[in-house]
Amino acid sequence: MFWSFDLETGDRPYIVGVDLGGTNVRAAVTDRDGKILGDGREPSLAMEGPDATIPQIIKAVRSALANGSISISEVAGVGMGVPGQHKTKEGLVLWSPNFKDWHGVQLVAPIRQDLRVPVFMGNDVNVAALGEFNFGAGRDVSSLVMLTLGTGIGGGIILDGKLWLGASEGAGEIGHCIVLPDGPLCSCGRRGCLESLAGRDAIVERAARKIQAGRPSVLIEDADWPLWSATPASIARAAQEGDQVAIETMAETAYYVGVGIVNAINLLSPEMVIVGGGIAQAGDVLWGPLLRTVHALALTESRRACRVVPAELGDDAGVMGGVTLVMQELGLQNAK
């Protein structure tokens, strides 16, 4: 990771975690035990370029500190989860989805120069995995794989207590593992990626195809859920109420996600797989067929050694992962 400031701050009691999203940037200041003491949120201004977004990150950090009545001089460091591909040792964002003109952007240096504390960054899902590892569902294990199910599908890998980045810092991209050769086209340009089969748009499209084939569904019969406004959440609700189109759509989604998890289990044999993101909140209409798929297809001994569980931290995963990143980089107490 990127040691970003020649200043001894390890004895300071507080840490700031930052979660940069396409709509908002959130910062939270915590103590060493992970208790959130102050929170700050600002629009990320993603389509206005990095010169607009970087000041918003700083503003969110300063807002969190003000709301917690904490001075920057009491902060050991700032850890950020940032979408896209990075060179973390250099503080560079190589590319970031949904952010205009983010190519080779130096993100760490201007924030460090303004705040005058060490600053670290990582891929947003990797950082969220660190949050679950240290403060959430994975706090009792030393190895895990995390998936986030939403518009896209992201992943993070922790082995022997350390985030595994790989040679290009591209490890953990489970959403772009091929689970159906010659399947639908993915946003990455390849076919049959997990994301192309179980991301938000794929779920809605699968339900639409069933309805276009003439099958009845509450998704078009109920005035509250016209097809054009269907979402994975509305499809999950319909499935919970017994709608067959919705039940099949969620079961197919669960199968594909399950296959992705099976591949992770068979390859890495982690102690835990954590599934987060909005789609993971669909309930048993997703989790039932997902767990059955894992049970049926994963290698027996690796499956028995691995728990597949929902994420615990929800929207806090990113900021708590940022806090964990600082703790690990500075060798602070309470970081696993």
Give, for all 336 residues of the chain, the pLDDT tens digit. Answer: 444 445 678 789 999 999 999 999 999 999 999 999 999 999 999 999 999 999 999 999 999 999 999 999 999 999 999 999 999 999 999 999 889 999 999 999 999 999 999 999 999 999 999 999 999 999 999 999 999 999 999 999 999 999 999 999 989 999 999 999 999 999 889 999 999 999 999 999 999 999 989 999 988 876 565 656 889 999 999 999 999 999 999 999 999 999 999 999 999 999 999 999 999 999 999 999 999 999 999 999 999 999 999 999 999 999 999 999 999 999 986 655
State whether 182 and 205 are in the same domain: yes
Extract the tokens encoding 303. 């499956």
First-to-last CA distance in the chain? 16
In contact, 197 and 205? CB cutoff 8 Å:
no
Exposed / middle / buried, residue 229 (Cβ in 10 Å: 0-12, 13-18, 19+): exposed
- Assigned domain for 106 exists: yes
| DSSP classification of residue 34 | -
The domain tally of the chain equals 2
CA–CA distance, 312 with 308 (Å, rounded to integer): 12
State whether 152 and 67 are in the same domain: no
Strands 119-123, 162-163: pairing kind:
unpaired
State whether 224 and 145 are in the same domain: yes
State whether 92 and 166 are in the same domain: no
CB atoms within 10 A of CB 150: 16
Q: To which residue do tokens 């946003």 refer?
A: 187
State whether 108 and 219 are in the same domain: no
Q: Strand, coil or helix: what is 258? A: helix
pLDDT digits (tens, 9 = 90+) for 1-16: 444 445 678 789 999 9
